[in-house]
Chain A
């Protein structure tokens, strides 16, 4: 039972390049989330997916797109990377309901030059 996995672990991009961050969970959770964390800051929600086939914007969605490919997978795409998107990206999943807790992946460290 791997929990939440993310690929890649680390990536360097040039300004204007595109890339997709992958996230998968094996806990059969309905909800999945993408957060970013800048140095010395808490996490900020980018997008979330309440269930397969639905996605909604979070606090900082500009410059990102997401796809809920199936119940297991939730990807985050940067179409044209900017230096301001240099951050650590965390994916999480949860099962909605009483006592819902989110389980986080190990993160992807992205550097945009």
Chain B
């Protein structure tokens, strides 16, 4: 079962920041928060991940609350190409071996012109 809760959908105006929320109230101390997105039936695409600190890369920023029970993915200037289903996933880090991503239903972000 997915360990995260996301709203089913959200709209955003093109050029504005899109703030995508995620609740993960049962997260453990060594579990990472990952974000992937899936654009129209393509394979999922990695966006960003974090443990405790806020993270930023060329695609997005990830803000994790101090208690780590929720996080927000920020797309600073949303474009029409950002329309996709966004998945917030909690992953346990282990050294060696494989880890399984448990995808929930995700959240459909629609960027409107």
Contacts and interface: CB of A to CB of B under 8 A. Distances in A.
Contact of B44 (A40, A44, A56, A104): A104
Contacts of B105: 40-42
A107 B39 CA distance: 12
Given A31-B98, A42-B105, A44-B103, A98 B2 contact: no
Contacts, number: 62
Interface residues of A, number: 32
Interface string A84-112: 00001010101011111111111100000
A79 to B, nearest CB: 24
A58 interface: yes
A76 to B, nearest CB: 15
Given A92-B43, A99-B49, A103-B46, A42 B98 contact: no
A69 interface: no
B43 A107 contact: yes
Nearest to B47: A101
A78 interface: no
Given A31-B98, A101-B34, A106 B43 contact: yes
Which of A56, A97, A102: most chain B CB closer than 10 A? A102
A99 B41 CA distance: 25
A54 to B, nearest CB: 9
Nearest to A107: B43
Contacts of B93: 98, 100
A59 B87 CA distance: 18
A100 B46 CA distance: 10
B69 to A, nearest CB: 21
A42 B106 contact: yes
Interface in A1-59: 4, 31, 33, 35, 40-45, 48-50, 56, 58-59
Interface of B: 2, 34, 41-46, 49, 87, 93, 95-106
12 contacts: A42-B87, A43-B101, A45-B100, A90-B43, A92-B44, A94-B98, A96-B95, A97-B96, A100-B99, A102-B101, A106-B42, A106-B43
